[in-house]
């Protein structure tokens, strides 16, 4: 579905400048509609193919609702830059279907230590987790292919985790997220032909968070996202407030040879990319490979955690 969308976006002149590319090419955005369509069509197919029980039915319905609301939130921000608090607060609304449909169990499963029953607190955790995963993926969508490639690795890691823990139905429900990310990566990788935009990044991040809740693998799912989580933590701790990325100084600079170096501006935010290029400038492709290596390492940690947890069970 990407080629037809590219024609539509080009005709509407919905494009943004790729500031790190030679010549500053204009790249169509957002790709969120095809990401949402890929997930929705796949999950609806699974709704009819998987065994019908209340957990699966509630899970797929909640996943579809949460993902769709997150897309709408991102699409609004794509078309009109909102304030820094808009996306976190709006994504709280996206988490509500999970609670209303009861697609969760009010226990937090800590690897090695077992379940902790926190019925009231768990509702708050749901309302927090979707904004965290959504904005975490959005914050790492800084260069060609990174968000889609990162989500491909993290989602396939989560599929393996769920299979190891013998949660087969939810593992299959996770495949559309992983495969949609992989399909989109074909057009998003360097040099990108399309950007996901906030609508695409929030859709993928919120869908991942919903699966973590439905599959009761919240802690392990966060382990698989560690590089993106660290990136968000570095950004927030340096900026010290919630603010739109487009409203702050860039943490990196593009050099004459089109390598990317860390900025010397003292009040620019600290990010994962800025740390990666602190020692020496790197090309955009090299930065992407470095982040994917970190994602693979975190995915392996998540899988090892699942194996240990499965052995304990």
pLDDT over 90 (residue 195): yes
Residue 213 has pLDDT above 50, yes or no: yes
pLDDT at res. 114: 67
pLDDT computed for residue 116 by the predictor: 74
Confidence of residue 301 (pLDDT cuts 50, 70, 90): very high
pLDDT confidence of residue 311: 54
Residue 139 banded pLDDT, cuts 50, 70, 90: very high
Asked whether the predicted pLDDT for residue 313 surpasses 50, the reply is no
**pLDDT tens-digit series, residues 72-96:** 999 999 998 777 788 999 999 999 9
Give the Cα separation of 216 and 106 in Å (integer). Answer: 9
For the chain, what is the mean pLDDT? 92
What is residue 210's predicted lDDT score, i.e. its pLDDT?
Answer: 98
Give the start-to-end residue ranges of the domains of the chain: 2-239+284-312
Residue 293 has pLDDT above 90, yes or no: yes
Write down the pLDDT at residue 243: 62
Q: What is the CA radius of gyration of the chain?
A: 19
| pTM metric for this prediction | 0.93
pLDDT at 33 over 80: yes
Q: Is residue 118 scored above 50 in pLDDT? A: yes
The pLDDT of residue 34 is above 60: yes
């Amino acid at each position: 579905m990407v080629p037809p969308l590219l024609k539509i976006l080009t005709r509407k002149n919905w494009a943004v400048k790729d500031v790190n590319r030679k010549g500053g090419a204009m790249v169509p955005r957002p790709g969120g509609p095809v990401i949402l369509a890929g997930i929705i069509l796949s999950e609806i197919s699974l709704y009819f193919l998987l065994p019908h029980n209340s957990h699966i039915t509630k899970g797929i319905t909640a996943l579809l609702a949460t993902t769709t609301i997150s897309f709408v939130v991102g699409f609004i921000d794509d078309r009109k830059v909102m304030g820094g608090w808009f996306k976190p607060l709006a994504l709280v609304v996206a988490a509500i279907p999970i609670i209303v449909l009861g697609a969760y169990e009010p226990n937090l499963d800590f690897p090695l230590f077992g379940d902790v029953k926190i019925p009231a607190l768990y509702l708050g955790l749901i309302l927090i987790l979707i904004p965290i995963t959504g904005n975490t993926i959005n914050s790492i969508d800084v260069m060609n292919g990174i968000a889609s490639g990162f989500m491909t690795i993290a989602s396939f890691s989560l599929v393996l985790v769920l299979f190891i823990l013998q949660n087969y139905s939810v593992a299959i429900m996770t495949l559309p997220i992983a495969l949609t990310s992989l399909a989109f990566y074909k057009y998003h990788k360097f040099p990108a032909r399309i950007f996901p935009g906030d609508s695409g990044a929030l859709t993928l991040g919120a869908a991942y968070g919903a699966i973590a809740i439905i599959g009761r693998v919240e802690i392990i799912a966060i382990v698989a996202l560690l590089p993106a989580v660290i990136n968000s933590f570095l950004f927030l701790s340096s900026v010290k407030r919630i603010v739109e990325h487009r409203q702050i100084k860039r943490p990196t600079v593009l050099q004459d040879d089109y390598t990317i170096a860390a900025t010397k501006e003292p009040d620019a935010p600290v990010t994962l990319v800025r740390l990666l290029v602190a020692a020496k400038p790197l090309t955009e492709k090299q930065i992407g490979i470095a982040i994917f290596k970190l994602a693979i390492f975190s995915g392996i940690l998540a899988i090892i955690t699942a194996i240990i947890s499965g052995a304990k069970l």
